[in-house]
Amino acid sequence: MVVACVALFVSLGGTSIAAVNFARNAGKVDGKDARRAAASRALAAGDLVATIRSGPHAGQIPGKFLADVPKSDPFGRYLDVQDNAAGVPAVLLRRAGFGTISAACNDARPLAGVENPTMVISVSNESGGPMNMARRQGAANPAVLEFANGTVQSFGVASANAVEVLLQKPDGSVMLIDAGARQVGQDSPSAACHIFGVALNVSP
């Protein structure tokens, strides 16, 4: 009888421990918690991440959880010329930790009713420190420089051309902007600038 009672208590105790362990690990995979796709990287560290539930990226893992993978942002703007006026800069893209890329379409022909579009691209440094910058149009020689935080580098785009801008921060993070730019309707009453491209961001 004593042996039977001991065996009963041991079996019940084992069942209780198993139940506690099951409850503690419910919802885990190999002992790891599952995090939502919207979770921060700090919260998700060491755990599993769910795919995006809905939208154009449904079923995919957010890029912020993937190391050494470029983050891409396509952009495109069609900018009308204001007769005899400088265009208001339009934001093409804004990347936290780097800055803002914008474009303006200006009228270079001081004659009413006749527009000659010229495009100016501006890159603002909002990184918190100095950045290296290399830029080139078509097959022309590149311009390579360093510019301080809080300053802006602007340059014009001649006619229809390919434009490349490479930015690098002191921590080694790089952003590459590859774009095509063109002006249409030169010396007409209705001119415009068109710019399109993609920005790639890679962090060490």
Nearest-angstrom CA–CA distance, 138 and 63 = 31
pLDDT tens, the chain, 204 aa long:
655 554 545 454 555 554 455 555 555 666 677 888 888 888 888 888 889 888 878 888 887 777 767 788 999 999 999 888 888 999 999 998 999 999 999 998 888 888 889 999 999 999 999 999 999 999 889 999 999 999 999 999 978 999 999 999 999 999 999 999 999 888 888 899 999 999 998 876
**Mean per-residue pLDDT over the chain, rounded:** 85
What integer pLDDT is reported at residue 124 of this predicted model? 97
pLDDT for the residue numbered 144: 97
Please check whether residue 67 is in contact with residue 183, taking contact to mean a CB–CB distance below 8 angstroms: no
What is the rounded CA–CA span in Å between residue 51 and residue 203? Answer: 22
Write the pLDDT tens digit of every residue in 132-152.
Answer: 999 999 988 999 999 999 999
Partner residues linked to 199 by β-bridges: 73, 177
CA distance readout (Å), 10 to 6, 15, 20: 6, 9, 15
Share above pLDDT 90 across residues of the chain, in percent, rounded to a whole number? 46
